[in-house]
């Protein structure tokens, strides 16, 4: 067990380089199971969710060579469709993608009901409805999900909600199906486009990813044989944008796609900070207390729920009273109790929270409830006066590569110590 000790306040200044996207990587790795051959995956973030996924793929028979800390060559020619992966799949939420990819590859899949961040109820009924529409039978019992099919056959599927996970999982299940699958009301997040680009590079025929209608023409085989580089992580980039604003700093964020950050950029500018885009860089600076705002999180291109806690830290010390309405998850305001320990004045009312801005935060011991709450508490610690201790780091390590090194490089006084 470890904790972070952060001494502040520090206006963060300098350059930070963004890693590959976690939420793309955890879908591209299981997507590799659909390939009958070898491929190279570059720009993989070096995080615990990626390492866990590689362990699962190896248990299934994949041969993985780590070329560098961020690049693998993976050969999925020989896959053991009967390998027991139940216990390991329980360890994280994104293991649900194995249902789609194994249904595609093996016509059967068994995974443990996924764990992950505690953000409220996290059903996968839309994934299951999609698999069943494609011809699979599913059954949940004793904490496991079983899915199997004689044949996967393309069809039209309308999603009641533009779910990221269901869109990707149905794409995975239909790439090798017979005929054409149409996903209507599909999610449009950049990592959905990235997974489709990966699969197309390997031989799939997917059109329309990034719009609300995706068409997947089934192919007989994915040949692989190519290299693919994971898209930069827009949530990590957004985290550093908000770190610049909260700490009244000046950061150049390198290796990102500014277009993916537009929903955040609009809000950051609205509250009085400065943003300049230049190719694959975004320069963000803020030299005064930001103003108040109202935010509602929604699917892309709305304001991302995965940047809501980091924005909450900014609004905790903004002038006036701000409101955040959480439109995706039931329970994503657990970090507000921790910020209140640091002197914030936030009232959490279920799916919305009222932020009465205070002039400054002060350091305190705080506990991380989930991945993005962890990033938010680091930003709070850097911006607050005095010492902040951040506990429960395993949530943060799931999704941010070298986070304290990246913060240290831009001036933060941050140490990781054993408990
Ligand atoms: N939902 C259903 N039924 C389903 C699927 C989803 O009711 O079958 C509901 C969920 O309960 C939730 C909403 O729909 O209220 C959105 O769920 P979605 O399926 O879009 O989310 P997800 O695929 O489970 C991914 C990211 C999350 C991110 C959300 C929203 C991955 C591995 N996870 O989750 O990332 O918050 O999309 O953008 O891609 C994070 O990175 O910190 C994180 C939690």
User: Residue 166 C-alpha to ligand 1 middle, in angstroms?
Assistant: 9
Tens digits of pLDDT across the chain (419 residues): 999 999 999 999 999 999 999 999 999 999 999 999 999 999 999 999 999 999 999 999 999 999 999 999 999 999 999 999 999 998 888 999 999 999 999 999 999 976 544 776 778 999 999 999 999 999 988 889 999 999 999 999 999 999 999 999 999 999 999 999 999 999 999 999 999 999 999 999 999 999 999 999 999 999 999 999 999 999 999 999 999 999 999 999 999 999 999 999 999 999 999 999 999 999 999 999 999 999 999 999 999 999 999 999 999 999 999 999 999 999 899 999 999 999 999 999 989 999 999 999 999 999 999 999 999 999 999 999 999 999 999 999 999 999 999 999 999 999 999 98
- Pocket perturbation via mutation, ligand 1, pick of 131, 161, 235, 373 by most ligand atoms within 8 A of CB: 161
Cβ 279 under 6 angstroms from ligand 1: no
User: Residue 253, Cβ neighbours under 10 Å: how many?
Assistant: 28
Looking from the CA of residue 128, the nearest atom of ligand 1 is: 8
Structure tokens at 253: 């964020």
- Residue where the block lists tokens 């409220």: 120
Q: Of the candidates 355, 300, 349, which has an alpha carbon nearest to the alpha carbon of residue 322?
A: 355
Question: Which residue lies with its CA nearest to atom 7 of ligand 1?
Answer: 123
User: Residue 368 C-alpha to ligand 1 middle, in angstroms?
Assistant: 19
Separation CA 309–CA 332 (nearest Å): 8
Question: Which residue lies with its CA nearest to atom 24 of ligand 1?
Answer: 165
Catalytic pick from 54, 81, 117, 286? Answer: 117
Looking from the CA of residue 129, the nearest atom of ligand 1 is: 8
Annotated catalytic residue 117:
yes
Looking from the CA of residue 187, the nearest atom of ligand 1 is: 20
> What single string gives the DSSP state of each residue in 330-341?
S---HHHHHHHH
Structure pTM?
0.97
Give the single-character DSSP code of 231: P
- Pocket perturbation via mutation, ligand 1, pick of 22, 122, 403 by most ligand atoms within 8 A of CB: 122
Q: Of the candidates 305, 260, 306, which has an alpha carbon nearest to the alpha carbon of residue 282?
A: 260
Cβ 123 under 6 angstroms from ligand 1: yes
Q: Of the candidates 171, 160, 169, 167, which has an alpha carbon nearest to the alpha carbon of residue 187?
A: 167
User: Residue 63 C-alpha to ligand 1 middle, in angstroms?
Assistant: 30
The 3-state DSSP class for residue 382 equals helix
- 360-372 residues labelled b (16+ CB within 10 A) or e (exposed): ebbbbebbbbbbb
Question: Which residue lies with its CA nearest to atom 39 of ligand 1?
Answer: 23
The 3-state DSSP class for residue 383 equals helix
Side-by-side strand order, sheet with 352-356: 294-296, 321-325, 352-356, 346-349
Assess whether the previous peptide bond of 210 is cis (omega < 30° from 0).
Answer: no
Q: Of the candidates 308, 368, 363, 360, which has an alpha carbon nearest to the alpha carbon of residue 332?
A: 308
């Amino acid at each position: 067990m470890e904790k972070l000790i952060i001494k502040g306040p520090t206006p963060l200044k300098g350059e930070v380089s963004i890693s590959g996207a976690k939420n793309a990587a955890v879908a591209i790795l299981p997507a590799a199971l659909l390939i009958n051959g070898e491929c190279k995956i570059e720009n993989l973030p070096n995080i615990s969710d990626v390492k866990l996924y590689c362990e699962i793929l190896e248990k299934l028979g994949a041969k993985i060579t780590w070329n560098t800390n961020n690049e693998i060559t993976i050969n999925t020619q020989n896959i053991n469709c009967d390998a027991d992966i139940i216990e390991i799949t329980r360890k994280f939420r994104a293991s649900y993608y194995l249902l789609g990819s194994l249904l595609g590859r093996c016509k059967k899949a068994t995974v443990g009901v996924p764990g992950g961040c505690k953000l409220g109820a996290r059903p996968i009924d839309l994934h299951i409805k999609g698999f069943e529409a494609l011809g699979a039978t599913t059954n949940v019992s004793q904490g496991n999900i079983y899915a199997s099919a004689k044949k996967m056959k393309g069809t039209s599927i309308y999603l009641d909600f533009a779910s990221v996970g269901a869109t990707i999982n149905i794409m995975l299940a239909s790439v090798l199906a017979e005929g054409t699958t149409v996903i209507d009301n599909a999610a449009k997040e950049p990592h959905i486009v990235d997974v489709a680009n990966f699969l197309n590079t390997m031989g799939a025929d997917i059109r329309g990813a990034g719009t609300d209608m995706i068409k997947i023409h089934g192919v007989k085989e994915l040949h692989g044989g190519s290299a693919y580089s994971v898209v930069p992580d827009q949530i990590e980039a957004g985290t550093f944008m908000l770190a610049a604003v909260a700490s009244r700093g000046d950061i150049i964020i390198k290796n990102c796609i500014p277009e993916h950050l537009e929903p955040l950029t609009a809000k950051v500018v609205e509250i009085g900070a400065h943003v300049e885009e230049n190719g694959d860089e975004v320069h963000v600076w803020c030299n005064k207390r930001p103003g108040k705002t109202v935010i509602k999180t929604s699917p892309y291109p709305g304001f991302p729920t995965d940047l809501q806690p980091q924005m909450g830290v900014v609004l905790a010390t903004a002038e006036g009273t701000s409101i955040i309405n959480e439109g995706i998850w039931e329970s994503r305001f657990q970090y507000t109790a921790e910020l209140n320990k640091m002197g914030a004045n936030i009232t959490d009312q279920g799916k919305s929270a009222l932020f009465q801005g205070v002039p400054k935060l002060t350091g305190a011991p705080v506990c991380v409830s989930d991945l993005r709450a962890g990033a938010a508490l680091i930003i709070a610690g850097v911006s607050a006066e005095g010492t902040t201790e951040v506990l429960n780091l395993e949530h943060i390590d799931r999704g941010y590569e070298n986070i304290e090194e990246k913060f240290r490089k831009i001036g933060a006084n941050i140490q990781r110590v054993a408990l």
